A and B are shown apart, each in its own frame.
Chain A
């Protein structure tokens, strides 16, 4: 059964079409990544699924319940960790967790035991009775996740779980998410604008661009669809003859998507190891000196470029 189903979700804010027909499905127990630049509609999608925002049209089921018709049933099954922390700064970590449990109808010894267990799980046991104002960014984030888990939800939403964290805290958060994912029953939907994060954490990703899902699949599938690897050849002296060099490469059977940048010629080939000797001998025949050759397997960056026709970094910077 699918834990999350989104069908043609649309949402318009003053003059901005935030969601323009978002559709995807997340299987039970899976870690699913919504990947896209800032402003692509990821957070709006998550807010809609977490019953915070009502879509203008479309339908969404979370844990089998309709988010518009039965929001309270959905709320009992989900944990929602907002992009910006939802921690009450004036309360201690323990108080934050106890209150969230009580909102979910938990009480007494079982609640206290669950809170202890979570404080241990996210490594906040020693800080449990300190006011959260003094927590580091990483600690607040971990408390957020514990808050989202207190009632043992079936589906956990993590909206940009590592944005704003330093590299060390980010690495720790990745380990945390991987550990949660190991619990078979928990379905995790995470959004990120870090390609490497989606690549590492998500079993399947949907790439979101301008309010739409442009492609969905496992990171490996998406990269495999690009067929092949990217070869970059750096030439020595070119004397303005770089275009001729590109033409030489383009004439080869295996090379496609040939492009030029400075003294670099890039081409996509099915298999780098086989293609490099052919490319080098062609360039050698044309009288070019080669300074270096690199091959790279396609990244999600390339996937993004391929499916949207836009560069991820540029789009990301433009979204703010």
Chain B
């Protein structure tokens, strides 16, 4: 299929998903409020533990990029629910019996998850601003944080859609998202700096894609962040997104064998 057709189909499918979401006021309200509550709640919970600041002037400044990433990767992990809804409504079959690219179907869902994560990241950074969080990396820093959020959401969205196509049941999808999501959150520097972790968790966390996003974003926010490291981590996330999106596209085969 021509690249132009692929992009065109992807674009219109993204329009469809965003438009459908805009018709869900409760979804919009929760999407806005939930990450803000996390930031406020966790920010308060650990605010007195000085050792957790990890080079930031306040814990909330340390935490803000972590919550941005936590929110992005949770959003991505759960995004496969949309695929299950489409499978149940036969919308996917309708696309597949038409000359719709399987990759476009996946890519549209993945990009949609990225857009949602960027909007949430912006809201979090604005709330952070009000709470005294400064993005010391400047304008470029903002872009790095938003890119980290987008890529984390997209990498996990690819994975989530692959799982959705394999299990095709809400209950299994929820179990899978929890099984993967919570451990990855705790084997990461979202809430505490690696220095304060037991050594084996710190070592393990280096292979955790969630952590790649956290480090990329945190470097952009803290004073004297390591830009090269941010770049490398974003690069790793781009690669992860490519791999999981291809995995999800490949999972269409499994789905089509089953119907």
Select A52's contact among B1, B8, B19, B256, beta carbons within 8 Å.
Answer: B256
Q: Which one, B50-58, B87-95, B193-201, is touching chain A?
A: B87-95
Q: Binding site of B, secondary structure by majority: helix, strand, loop or mixed?
A: helix
Pairwise interchain contact A103-B96, C-beta atoms closer than 8 A: no
Select A100's contact among B24, B90, B94, beta carbons within 8 Å.
Answer: B94
Q: In the complex, which residues of chain B have a beta carbon less than 8 angstroms from the beta carbon of A290? A: none
How distant is A156 from chain B, measured CB to nearest CB, in Å? 11
Select B98's contact among A88, A103, A131, beta carbons within 8 Å.
Answer: A103
Pairwise interchain contact B94-A80, C-beta atoms closer than 8 A: yes
Pairwise interchain contact A75-B23, C-beta atoms closer than 8 A: no
Q: With A47-B259, A88-B20 as given contacts, are A103 and B9 in contact (CB-CB < 8 Å)?
A: yes
How distant is B168 from chain A, measured CB to nearest CB, in Å? 14
Asked whether any CB of chain B lies closer than 8 Å to the CB of A104, the reply is yes
Within 52-107 of B, Cβ neighbours of A (below 8 Å) are at 86, 89-91, 93-100
Q: Which one, A89-97, A165-173, A175-183, is touching chain B?
A: A89-97
A131 to B16, CA, bound (A): 13
Interface centre among A95, A99, A131, A147 (most CB of B within 10 A): A99
How distant is B83 from chain A, measured CB to nearest CB, in Å? 13
Pairwise interchain contact B20-A85, C-beta atoms closer than 8 A: no
Asked whether any CB of chain B lies closer than 8 Å to the CB of A102, the reply is yes
Pairwise interchain contact B16-A99, C-beta atoms closer than 8 A: yes
Q: In the complex, which residues of chain B have a beta carbon less than 8 angstroms from the beta carbon of A78? A: 97
Within 73-93 of A, Cβ neighbours of B (below 8 Å) are at 75-76, 78, 80, 82, 84-91
Select B23's contact among A47, A84, A86, A131, beta carbons within 8 Å.
Answer: A131
Pairwise interchain contact A86-B90, C-beta atoms closer than 8 A: yes
Query: A-facing mask of B212-251, CB < 8 A → 1, else 0?
Result: 0000000000000000000000000000000000000000
Q: With A53-B259, A88-B16, A90-B20 as given contacts, are A103 and B100 in contact (CB-CB < 8 Å)?
A: yes
Q: Binding site of A, secondary structure by majority: helix, strand, loop or mixed?
A: loop
Pairwise interchain contact A102-B89, C-beta atoms closer than 8 A: no
How distant is A197 from chain B, measured CB to nearest CB, in Å? 21
Within 7-43 of B, Cβ neighbours of A (below 8 Å) are at 8-9, 12-13, 16, 19-20, 23-24
Q: With A75-B99, A99-B12 as given contacts, are A54 and B89 in contact (CB-CB < 8 Å)?
A: no
A104 to B5, CA, bound (A): 9
Pairwise interchain contact A51-B97, C-beta atoms closer than 8 A: yes
Q: With A88-B20, A95-B16, A99-B16 as given contacts, are A50 and B97 in contact (CB-CB < 8 Å)?
A: yes
How distant is B86 from chain A, measured CB to nearest CB, in Å? 8
Select B20's contact among A54, A80, A91, A100, beta carbons within 8 Å.
Answer: A91
Q: Which residue of B lies closest to A107 (CB)?
A: B8
Pairwise interchain contact A54-B257, C-beta atoms closer than 8 A: yes
How distant is B19 from chain A, measured CB to nearest CB, in Å? 7
Interface centre among A90, A131, A147 (most CB of B within 10 A): A90
Pairwise interchain contact B98-A100, C-beta atoms closer than 8 A: yes
Q: With A54-B257, A99-B16, A103-B9 as given contacts, are A88 and B97 in contact (CB-CB < 8 Å)?
A: no
Select B256's contact among A54, A72, A89, A99, beta carbons within 8 Å.
Answer: A54
**Count class of interface residues, chain A:** 20 to 34
Q: Which residue of A lies closest to B20 (CB)?
A: A90
Q: Which residue of B lies closest to A73 (CB)?
A: B99
Q: In the complex, which residues of chain A have a beta carbon less than 8 angstroms from the beta carbon of B13? A: 99
Pairwise interchain contact A85-B98, C-beta atoms closer than 8 A: no
Select B93's contact among A52, A103, A105, beta carbons within 8 Å.
Answer: A52
Q: In the complex, which residues of chain A have a beta carbon less than 8 angstroms from the beta carbon of B257? A: 54
Q: In the complex, which residues of chain A have a beta carbon less than 8 angstroms from the beta carbon of B5? A: 105
Pairwise interchain contact B23-A90, C-beta atoms closer than 8 A: yes
Q: In the complex, which residues of chain B have a beta carbon less than 8 angstroms from the beta carbon of A100? A: 94, 98
Q: Which residue of A lies closest to B11 (CB)?
A: A102
Pairwise interchain contact B91-A86, C-beta atoms closer than 8 A: yes
Pairwise interchain contact B256-A82, C-beta atoms closer than 8 A: no
A50 to B97, CA, bound (A): 6
Q: In the complex, which residues of chain B have a beta carbon less than 8 angstroms from the beta carbon of A54? A: 256-257
Q: In the complex, which residues of chain B have a beta carbon less than 8 angstroms from the beta carbon of A151? A: 98
How distant is B106 from chain A, measured CB to nearest CB, in Å? 15
Query: B-facing mask of A203-225, CB < 8 A → 1, else 0?
Result: 00000000000000000000000
How distant is B28 from chain A, measured CB to nearest CB, in Å? 13
Pairwise interchain contact B256-A91, C-beta atoms closer than 8 A: no
Q: In the complex, which residues of chain B have a beta carbon less than 8 angstroms from the beta carbon of A102? A: 8-9, 12
Q: With A75-B98, A102-B12 as given contacts, are A82 and B93 in contact (CB-CB < 8 Å)?
A: yes
When A and B form their complex, which 8 residue pairs have the shortest distance between CB atoms, in order from nearest? Answer: A86-B94, A80-B97, A90-B20, A86-B90, A75-B99, A50-B97, A103-B100, A102-B12
Sample (27) of A-B pairs whose CB atoms are under 8 Å apart? A13-B258, A47-B259, A50-B97, A51-B96, A52-B93, A52-B256, A53-B256, A72-B1, A78-B97, A80-B93, A80-B94, A82-B90, A82-B94, A85-B89, A86-B90, A88-B89, A88-B91, A90-B24, A95-B19, A99-B12, A99-B16, A100-B98, A102-B12, A103-B9, A103-B12, A103-B99, A104-B99
